[in-house]
Amino acid sequence: MKNLVEITTPEDIFPQYRDTPIELFLKYHNLNLDIESENYTEAQLLIGMCMDNRKHLHIPENFAYIIRSGGANLRHSEFKVSYAIAVGNIQHIVLISHNNCGMVNLHARKDQFIDGLVNKAGWDRAWAEEHFMHFAPIFEIGNEIDFVISEAQRLRQRYPSVMVAPMFYQVETNRLHLIRENA
């Protein structure tokens, strides 16, 4: 966790993100910049974040495209990312991982997952198990911070003209942290 930088003042924002929509995003969410005074007609950035229901962002209406996917894994949402860039004119992406993510150590939830599909969705047990075994390796993210850094690096290679910022969301405090990638 030593590579996490909590944003409590504007000076905490990394220099490369200043004067960008990423800085505004951090000011809206962590520093309580007034969202009511802004009237965006176009999205300023793309936010990729986990589907977890415990996260809520404090941003103005129309400020961002948001893609929610388990673990903030955008590998299977690339067409949507490309659309936001090509058609929506997005030049900045924020990727947000969070603590206690359900996509970490999926194998530990294998029985719960299978039982849930059998008991709550009416699935056949063998089908539910095959479903888990097929998809769990694709969606397992390992460590939340390491994954969001690797996903940011992957997207930078895919979209070299787009700025990508990995962040970490502390569920208990509803606060965003920037990540020092080389720490």
pLDDT in tens, 2-45: 799 999 999 999 999 999 999 999 999 999 999 988 899 999 99
Which domains does the chain possess?
4-103+143-179 (3.40.1050.10), 105-140 (no CATH)
CB 168 within 8 A of CB 177: yes
- Edge-to-edge strands, sheet with 175-179: 4-6, 175-179, 163-170, 92-98, 45-49, 64-68
Burial per residue of 12-32, b for 16 or more beta-carbon CB atoms within 10 angstroms, e otherwise = ebeeebeebbbbbbbbbbbee
CA distance 115 to 27: 43
pLDDT in tens, 137-178: 999 998 999 999 999 999 999 999 999 999 999 999 999 999
Q: CA distances (Å), 10 to each of 13, 15, 18, 166, in order?
A: 6, 10, 9, 18
Q: Please tell me the pTM assigned to this model.
A: 0.93
Q: Taking residues 61-77, what's their average pLDDT? A: 95
pLDDT at 137: 93
